[in-house]
Structure 1
Amino acid sequence: MTFNDNARIDTGKVSKRSGARRGGIIAGGGGIVALLLVFGSQMLGVNLMPFAPVVDQLISGSSLSGERTEALPGCETGADANDDAECRMAATADSLDRYWEGQVDGYRSPADVVLYDGQTQSGCGTASSATGPFYCPSDQAIYLDVAFFDMLSGDYGASDGSLAQMYVLAHEWGHHISNLIGTLQQAGRETGPASGSVRLELQADCFAGAWVKDASTVTDDAGVPFLQPVTQQQIADAMSAAAAVGDDHIMESAGVEVNPERFTHGTSEQRQRWFQAGYRSGPAACGTFDVPASEL
């Protein structure tokens, strides 16, 4: 989607971390099992990690040093958001926060949206850009390295359009909404095509679509809409991102057998379909925990 050039961005919802160095590493064949357990039970998001060679990039026993937290400079207007990926994430966060405030009783913003460079520490452990963006329930914060977008388009075939990127943050925000309304607590730790984890991920996709439906009506403090009306090409960009992070597509891209019993996020088709459900009908259509397995 395209931001209106004169919309004003409140960057207070995001922080930027950079300069971290890792000390310590867990090696050995058991590492990937531990990583899967950590990611599956604590981190919720666009997960490419279990099927990619990045075992040394998410290490729960690591320590970080030299990390700096700073403000996000140069992100003041919609024009800045159209030109820069980090500014785009800050503006998207501002729009998402204002949208969901009007949708959820007792709404609370995420504690932070952390834009990090390379790796950072979260309440769910140490993460890197290779793990993908995620929501950490422990600290109710979202973590995202914009370098992930290059991986998503270059390695997994997603569009590099703006809404493909904004969909990712909207999906993570969806996990925060699930946390607030209590469905996140229903997910459990099982895997499989009708598992709670799949239902949770599809709900986040649906919530992302619900925001896109009404995003052009969300305004800044001066009443200026953040975003121009969405185009069909931009919807196609978001659909390409949703398809890229389907369990079946990620497994195929990694050259492993597609095994539905290992699904944690849903198929490409499911992720697109639930995004479209939210886009057509809003948050009320996102009851993924209320439908039988045959309707997921």
Structure 2
Amino acid sequence: MGVKFNPDADLDTSGVEDTRGSGGGGSRLPGGAIPVGGGIGGIILLVIILLLNGGLPGGSGGSEEPAVRNTAAGNLDSCKKGSDLQTNSDCRFVFYQNSIQTFWAAELPRRGKKYTAAPMRVFDGSVNTGCGPATSAVGPFYCPPDQRVYLDLGFFKTLQTDLGARGGDFAEAYVVAHEYGHHIQNLYGILGRIKSRSGPTSDSVRSELQADCLAGIWTNHATTVPDKSGKPLITELSESDIADGLDAAAAVGDDRIQSKTQGQVTPESFSHGTAEQRMKWFKAGMDSGDMTRCDTWSASSL
């Protein structure tokens, strides 16, 4: 059935930058590598190496590209009402972005923290960022220096075909919410304190699991988040939708990815956590709806 979106909702595209078809302007980094620690290594699919990574720490600091807008008929700028989904199915990503940002913009001040909006840039091919150039092979990521979420919509097919996820609307929503979880971490200064980037209890793993938990926090509240006029953006999440999100979280576990790509599991190279851990922390946020339940840093058992 999929997530139920409100056809009467008013959508806000001011924080969504659709640059697909604009050429991007990014270039491959030397050797096709992306400047980030904690990857699997080798020449295995970069989308797997960097899947859902919390930005590109240690990036080359390349200048961010101008926000060139996609002028094609299916661009996200055309998503003004929920009913626009009928003619442009990609509008669901505007729903996700609006709902996630609206939630955090209310939740953080309630906890005494100012929220700073983070645009979501949709691209294809390549893109320049405040973290350096990147290609579609990187998969979704958050760049701390320019405080943007970067997303190539083609990734979600890869999530199914290469990583074995069953897909679905809420698998997509989980990915976007995870990246915005990294933005929340950045606002709290957490990403800048990451030191160890590999190992089963590394800072990188703790950061990724916390982002999963924060994605779960939004999930708990998703059907109550309103548009600017007070109408709900997402009206219903079924048990099947939630299962799709948990399935996506499991599919990007280090152990699942390593088993698929190298035939064995090497915990010393973990950077994101196991399938079980990713589901556990996503569920911890989802079940509680409480940010205090997302302290992966002091948890003795991940």
Counterpart position of 2:53 = none
Length-normalised TM-score, structure 1: 0.85
- Counterpart of 2:157? 150
Secondary structure of 2:97's aligned partner: helix
1:33-44 equivalences under 5 Å are 35=34, 38-40=35-37
SS where residue 7 of structure 1 aligns?
Answer: coil
| Distance in structure 2 (CA, Å) of the matches to 1:254 and 1:103 | 39
**SS across alignment from 1:121:** strand
Give SS of 1:290's match. coil
Pairwise CA distance, 1:61: 10
Give the Å deviation of 1:49. Answer: 8.2
CA distance in 1: counterparts of 2:237 and 2:171, whole angstroms: 12
Aligned residue number for residue 212 of structure 2: 205
Same amino acid, percent of matched pairs: 41
**Contact between 1:20 and 1:118, CA under 8 Å: does it hold in 2?**
yes
Structure 2 CA distance for partners of 1:128 and 1:82, relative to 1, 3 Å: farther
Do structure 1's residue 99 and structure 2's residue 103 form an aligned pair?
A: yes
- Residue 13 of structure 2 is matched in structure 1 by 11
The Cα shift of 1:53 comes to 3.6
Quick one: distance in 2 between partners of 1:188 and 1:118? 31
Q: Which blocks of at least 5 consecutive residues in structure 2 are unaligned?
A: 51-55
Query: Quick check: 1:285 aligned with 2:296?
Result: no
Shift of 1:173: 0.2
After the TM superposition, which segments of 4 or more aligned residues of structure 1 sit over 4 Å from their partners?
21-27, 47-51, 57-67, 81-85
Partner of 1:232: 239
Q: Is the 8 A contact 1:20 1:68 kept in 2?
A: no
Equivalent residue letter for 2:23: A
Q: Which of 258, 264, 277 is matched with 2:271 structurally? A: 264
Kept in 2: contact 1:21–1:66 (CA 8 A): no
Structure 1 letter corresponding to 2:283:
Q
**Matches of 1:263 and 1:67, distance apart in 2:** 35
- TM-score of the aligned structures, taking structure 2 as reference length: 0.83
User: Residue 258 of structure 1: CA displacement?
Assistant: 1.1
Q: Size of the alignment, in residue pairs?
A: 281
Aligned amino acid, residue 12 of structure 2: D
Q: Report how far residue 285 of structure 1 moved.
A: 0.9
Q: Which residue of 2 aligns with 1:89?
A: 93
Alpha-carbon distance between aligned partners in 2 of 1:94 and 1:62, rounded to the nearest angstrom: 28
Which structure shows the higher helix fraction? 1
For residues 83 and 118 of structure 1, what CA distance do their matches in structure 2 show?
A: 24
Aligned-pair CA distance for 1:100:
0.4
Displacement of 1:255 after TM fit? Answer: 2.7
Task: For 1:162 and 1:189, locate their aligned partners in 2 and report how far apart those are by CA, in whole Å.
Answer: 33
User: What is the one-letter code of the residue matched to 1:133?
Assistant: P
Q: 1:174 touches 1:208 (CA, 8 Å); kept in 2?
A: yes
Q: 1:126 to 1:48 in 2, by over 3 A?
A: farther
Contact 1:207 1:275 in 2 (8 A): yes
Matching residue of 1:118 = 125
Gaps of 5+ in 1: 42-46
Partner secondary structure for residue 167 of structure 2: coil
Match of 1:20 in 2: 23
